[in-house]
Structure 1
Amino acid sequence: MWLDLVVIGRNEEVNLNALKLSINKIDKLINKRIYVDSASIDNSVTMAKGFFDFVIELSRNEDLSASLGRKIGASFTEKEWILFLDADMELNDQFTEWLLNFENVTSNFGFVGKYKDIDRERNKNRYRVFKSKNGIARYFGGAVLLRRVALFEVGNWSSNIYANEEIELYSRMTKKGYKVEIIDQVMVNHYTEIPNTKEKIMNLFIIKNKKNFIGTSQVFIKAIKERFFIQLFRLQPLPYLLLIFNFLFLNILIFSHLIALIWLISSHILLIIFQKEIKSVILGYIFLYLLIMGLLIQIVDLAKFKRMKKT
């Protein structure tokens, strides 16, 4: 037994049986099965108690987030490796075989594979492959295998990041020289909604859950405060390049409209060449929008809080 399993979930009773069957296939590898539940109102906790060694129930009164759940779960681990999963996932057979044949001689500090997203209602699926450079991941998602010593040396997952917690953690890891390797295998089947193009756009620009906006700006602010912005920029450069280019554009605009126009066009051509596609620049602008909106929401919330204290 060389790994501990940490699973986070909320109202996942419909998915837990599939998860159970998949992790049973690697039972001989697992030291502890740890489940962290974020105030579920369905039968999740009862089901989880049937096949997890530890079930931690978080209260609605807590500032709930995926990052907090993983941090608490990780604190119960003790083996060299930790496998993180979400409760709406199951291990893919390709990754199961990879784990059963794993040789712990690697110099890397983590592994991530492809995700297969499955939308049961729409009968759709897609594969997600994480960007990489020389076999090293540029980022990862909720399913990842991490070496425990690396995770705890950088301070574990953050307890107060609402979204983009993976890139925030990975930025701190890369600052210490810890890398996550890409593997060819499909790692998990992820049972989730696959939105169409219209829904993606609506979800990004309509504030249904302001935590999604705040999380983006939280990562930015924390990276500045704790001095890992360079690592964040290296992993996810485009939105911050856009921020710089547009800031310079506004300043140049004060002095010369023509020079500002030339700057705007030439800088975006360079970005498109750098990213090798227009789509990436558009996505960068969307990320930049989330960053700015998140900062504004935090400023408004802070102002409201100060007014409440005065009254």
Structure 2
Amino acid sequence: MATGIGVVVIGRNEGPRLERCLVSLIGSAQKVVYVDSGSTDNSVQMARKLGVEVVELDMTIPFTAARARNEGFARVQQLLPTMRYVQFVDGDCEVVGTWLHQAQVFLDARPDVAVVCGRRRERFPQRSIYNFLCDREWDTPVGEAKACGGDALMRADAFAAASGYRADLIAGEEPELCVRLRASGWKVWRLGEEMTLHDAAMTRFKQWWQRSMRGGYAFAEGAFLHGAAPEQHWLRESRRAWFWGLGIPLAAVVASLLLGWFGLLLLLIYPVQVMRLARRGDGLPRENWLLAFFLVLGKFPEMVGQVKFLLSRIVGGKTALIEYK
């Protein structure tokens, strides 16, 4: 058992995925807390049967994953006052048995690092193109990084000093926290070790579209919060969404009004971009083409997410959680 480590698991209606997640953690950390956000299956009962502490969120308050993680941290801190590190993990992930020890050893040796994460993989990348896209998305460079994902081991004191996640963010809360931690002098690190097996369970185009739209919303909000120099957080991603998702189509419409159907030839820039990205890929040819195609196509739902954020700023409201499961 890794000493001084608490774990916060969040989830809703994850069923067998949650059970697999919790079983992978029992006996590996001193305290595991599961935060449930209104499950209608047996998630709560199953977690308690496994001996895991459960926090049931008040669902009359707007839900965000950030809020769930914050409440989980507060609870595990109460139960384990000596906690030095906290592992955050999504309920659809199984934690690799060696991860907590390896991550703890790294943080013990690197007092300048506040967050460490490892390799997240998809459990079933072959089941759909959308699962495969997720698996490739998780494959990021090792070493010092700007941000982590939902699965990461953090220093409890650094997390508390930063006041945790911004509970009002509906997406992108982990990179936003990392921006603030790095601004305080901390470092974020990604190791090459296996960390978690994730089950995206994406089998439909609509799920991929919703997830991409949520990403666009996160890009917009991140740029709004931290887009100024020197950070320029997600500013480039936001500009790309507007350029490819709206700028080029509008330019093609204007060109067609001036030049007739010849103006629509401007849309050929999309297949050219797909070809350019595919040729730059380092995988198998078929994989490179699929990745390139969806990377370009993804700019349209990302642009929709950007618009949703913009409208929320104009009307002064808050967009409801964008879910894909």
TM-score if structure 1 supplies the norm length? Answer: 0.70
Alignment check: 8 A CA contact 2:119 2:138 kept: yes
Distance 1:289 1:171 in 2: 26
Question: Which residue is equivalent to 1:150?
Answer: 158
Kindly indicate whether residue 198 of structure 2 is the aligned counterpart of residue 190 of structure 1.
Answer: yes
Question: Which residue is equivalent to 1:86?
Answer: 90
3-state SS in 2 of match to 1:104 = helix
Distance 2:238 2:221 in 1: 16
Distance 1:220 1:156 in 2: 20
Kindly indicate whether residue 24 of structure 2 is the aligned counterpart of residue 22 of structure 1.
Answer: yes
CA 117–214 in structure 1, closer or farther in 2 if over 3 Å, else same: closer
Of residues 108, 114, 117 in structure 2, which corresponds to 1:104? 108
Distance 2:197 2:229 in 1: 33
Question: Which residue is equivalent to 1:36?
Answer: 35
Task: Name stretches of at least 5 consecutive residues in structure 1 with no aligned partner.
Answer: 306-311
CA 142–304 in structure 1, closer or farther in 2 if over 3 Å, else same: closer
Letter in 1 for 2:5: L
Residues 251-276 of structure 1: per-residue CA shift (max 9 Å, x gap): 9x99xx9xxx99x98xx98xx79x95
Structure 1 position 62, deviation (Å): 2.4
Structure 1 window deviating more from structure 2 (76-85 vs 289-298): it is 289-298
Distance 1:105 1:96 in 2: 14
Residues 218-264 of structure 1: per-residue CA shift (max 9 Å, x gap): 5455445544544764667344356479879989x99xx9xxx99x9
Structure 1 position 136, deviation (Å): 1.7
Structure 1 window deviating more from structure 2 (181-190 vs 240-249): it is 240-249
CA 14–203 in structure 1, closer or farther in 2 if over 3 Å, else same: closer
What is the number of equivalent residue pairs in this alignment? 291
Question: Which residue is equivalent to 2:285?
Answer: none
**Root-mean-square deviation (CA), in Å?**
4.6
Task: Name stretches of at least 5 consecutive residues in structure 2 with no aligned partner.
Answer: 260-264, 282-288, 318-325
Structure 1 position 285, deviation (Å): 5.0
The share of aligned pairs that are identical, in percent, is: 21
Question: Which residue is equivalent to 1:67?
Answer: 66
3-state SS in 2 of match to 1:93 = coil
Distance 2:140 2:175 in 1: 13
Question: Which residue is equivalent to 1:309?
Answer: none
Distance 1:68 1:288 in 2: 28
Structure 1 position 156, deviation (Å): 1.2
Distance 1:110 1:141 in 2: 10
Letter in 1 for 2:189: E
Of residues 9, 12, 15 in structure 2, which corresponds to 1:13? 15
Distance 2:137 2:248 in 1: 34
3-state SS in 1 of match to 2:68 = helix
Of residues 123, 135, 148 in structure 2, which corresponds to 1:118? 123
Distance 1:91 1:286 in 2: 32
Question: Which residue is equivalent to 1:137?
Answer: 145
Question: Which residue is equivalent to 1:308?
Answer: none
